[in-house]
Amino acid sequence: MSTEISPLAPKSDPVLPPIAGVRIETAEAGIKYKGRTDLMVMVFDRPAEVAGVFTTSKCPSAPVDLCRANLPGGSARIVVVNSGNANAFTGAKGAKATADTAGAAAAAAGCAPSEVFLASTGVIGEPLDAAKFSGLLGDMVKSAVSDRWADAARAIMTTDTYPKVATRTFEIAGASCTINGIAKGAGMIAPDMATMLSFIVTDAPIAANVLQAALSDHVGSTFNAVTVDSDTSTSDTVLLFSTGGAQITETSDPQLAGFREALRSLMEELSLKIVRDGEGARKQVEVLVTGAASDEAAGRIARSIANSPLVKTAVAGEDANWGRVVMAVGKAGEEADRDRLAIWFGDVRVAVDGERDPDYSEAEASAVMKRDEITIRADIGLGSGQARVWTCDLTKAYVEINGDYRS
Binding positions are 158, 184, 195, 279, 402, 407
CA–CA separation, 84 and 136 (whole Å): 17
- The catalytically annotated residue of 195, 227, 234, 290 is 195
- Give Cβ neighbours of residue 128 (< 8 Å, ≥ 6 apart): 31, 82, 85, 87, 90, 93, 94, 97, 120
Q: Residues within the annotated binding site for substrate?
A: 158, 184, 195, 279, 402, 407
Residue length, the chain?
407
C-alpha torsion angle, residues 90, 96, 98, 99 (rounded to 10): 160
Number of H helices, E strands in the chain: 11, 14
For residue 322, which amino acid is it? W
Q: Does the annotation mark 195 as catalytic?
A: yes
Is 44 strand, coil or helix?
strand
Instruction: Report d(CA 166, CA 324) in Å as an integer.
Output: 35
- Of the candidates 393, 273, 372, 370, the one whose C-alpha atom is nearest the C-alpha of residue 324 is 393
Alpha helices (H) along 110-207: 137-143, 149-155
CA distance 334 to 292: 9
Quickly list DSSP for 337-350. -GGG-EEEETTEEE
Return the closest-CA partner of residue 113 out of 130, 128, 129, 101: 101
Burial class (CB in 10 A: 0-12, 13-18, 19+), 235: buried
Q: Which residues pair with 129 in a beta bridge?
A: none
Asked if 40 contacts 81 with a C-beta cutoff of 8 angstroms, the reply is: yes
> Which amino acid is residue 404, in one-letter code?
D
Return phi, psi of residue 363, to 5°.
-65, -45
CB neighbourhood size of 354 (10 A): 13
Active-site residue list: 195
